[in-house]
Amino acid sequence: MLKHQLNAVLFDLDGTLLDTAPDMARAANRVLADHQIPPLTPAQIQANTSYGANGLLAAGFGTIPDHLDPRALRLQFLEYYLSDICLETVTYHGIDSLLRYLKENSIPWGIMTNKPGFLTQQLLPFFPELNEAEVIVCGDTLAKAKPHPDPLWHACELLKVAPQHCLYVGDIEKDMIAARSAGMPGAVAGWGYIGMEHTPHLWQADIILAEPAALIQLLEQQNRNGRPFFNQSCYS
């Protein structure tokens, strides 16, 4: 059981703060159509959006033919995605209230995403509430990306908080691996891109949250009694 006071929160972006699946899937489907491959199914989109271009394209192609260059396919995806990066992307229900709670209670928060910086910079201006993040660390900010702990440590340094006092919220197992490697408590965003084949209860997270409001409830409990609230289940 963790015994440290929670003083800050870091969030993943895709599948945690933003539902980017419609726009990312559209870009992937354009690439697939260029090569006469059927579009992604809703289940494939749900399960693979958090893995970015490579995850979506791998799901669509199954096995990429030898005559196609995966790097070229990814560049093609990025070109399509960047051209229409925010047609249908939205914040998840309850995120605005959660971020407002953090602001009103002076709890520092930031974004640590594997999304490339140039895409993150293009997307965030559509969401003023996300631009209030005190820290934004992207997949190419450092030489190493998640699940390596360096980006999380870097974000904690910028927030001036020790890792053990900072919660990392993400929606895939890689996020929880990164949190453990960094010595941070990890919370699964149960509202994110968790497919039927995923098993978040096996990801060794400290907590699984059913909705953003569950994090507010836990922070309120911490304020009331000062006891650690991790190793509880809020997943439904």
23 given a catalytic annotation? no
Asked if 57 contacts 29 with a C-beta cutoff of 8 angstroms, the reply is no
DSSP per position, 147-179: TSSHHHHHHHHHHT--GGGEEEEESSHHHHHHH
- Measure CA of the first residue to CA of the last residue in the chain; give whole Å: 22
Q: Residue 36 and residue 44: Cα distance in Å, rounded? A: 18
Q: Residue 65 and residue 107: Cα distance in Å, rounded? A: 49
| Catalytic position from the list 12, 14, 19, 171 | 12
Closest CA to 210 of 229, 190, 180: 190
70-83 and 21-34 helices, crossing angle to 10°:
130
- Tokens 């990392």, located at residue: 168
Task: List residues with catalytic annotation.
Answer: 12
